[in-house]
Amino acid sequence: MLADLADPADFGNEQDWAFEMKWDGVRVVAYLEGSSVELLSRSGLDITASYPEVADALQSIKVDSAVLDGEIVAVDRNGRPSFALLQSRINLTRPGDVQKARAAVPVQLMLFDLMELDGRSLIKAPYEQRHALLSELVATADHPRVQVPPQFEGDLVAALAVSEQLNLEGVVAKRLGSLYLPGGRGRTWLKIKHQRMQEVVIGGWRDGRGRRGGGIGSLLMAVPESGRLRYVGRVGTGFTDVDLDQIADRLEPLARATCPLVDVPSIDARDAHWVEPVLVGEVACSGWTRQRRIWQPTWRGWRPDKRPDDVRVEHPEDAPTPATNQLSRRAPDELR
């Protein structure tokens, strides 16, 4: 189930809601069957081999079978989730690479929902019942790597304060009494973020200059619109040298001769290297320009748990319509 973006002002009676932390990790569904554990990403990829410590911890839960919903997070030396750190664990499959990364970057599983228990579907059970059963179930494991984090019932202000204090991404609000909607969105799960983020589909890259000469300078971003991928700008900041090497390795096999995006300015297209638009990333940003480009994007990392058709504009009220765009003056990022 997915959450829609919301603003604190959208809530009426907060007593109708429970508030959880937004952990800034990778979404995962865990399937437990006897002593077997399988971890699937939102896109359906089997990522069990990438996070063996999580699979081992889930095996300690005393249950015949269960389907659990949660998020894998990497923690820094202060015990705080770090999406940047998690990037070094994403997509690793070779045992040697996984073991090396596991020692350097430990991960935990934050569980927040229970869809099935011992063969019985719970998706039509009310949220608070599912959460109570989940807490009881995970308590049987008594393993620090698997947790059911505390909630803030009816107190959004307190939840936001704690989230900001812990330097988390934000808060997820869940309406009491609500059902679980597999693969869907509903106004019963809402996310409130401290900082603006935007998921993007990567359609190409441009050459770097200066110390980045001979490598990647920026990535060309897009969002789905009316069955096509509309260009929304390029991101060239937020990368480490390791990031750039890994990005190059990831994009090289996806090279193609033609542009997969629409509305790409000639200045950005003239030296672009195009790729199949199958990879999703995430940027932090300041909003949208009048030219319908992402304003001041900073790269945060890949989102292997998302498919291109999962991407949507997070703040549509700030993204001008095509008609508005035709009448607007040139935006700052187009003048540089």
Q: What are the catalytic residues?
A: 22
Interatomic CA distance for residues 4 and 146, integer angstroms: 26
CB atoms within 10 A of CB 213: 9
Whole-number Å distance between alpha carbons of 224 and 19: 30
Backbone angles phi, psi at 10, to 5 degrees: -75, -15
Collapsing DSSP to helix, strand or coil, 53 comes out as helix
**Half-sphere exposure in the Cβ direction for 189 (13 Å, CA):** 18
Residue 236: both structure tokens together:
């060239």
Closest CA to 130 of 75, 82, 182: 182
Instruction: Please say whether the beta carbons of 86 and 107 come within 8 A.
Output: yes
Beta strands 272-284; 298-302: pairing state: antiparallel
Q: Using only C-alpha atoms, what is the Rg of the chain? A: 21
> 192: which 2 tokens?
């409130």
What are the angstrom distances between the C-alpha of 11 and each of 154, 190, 197? 10, 10, 21
The total number of residues written for the chain in this structure: 336
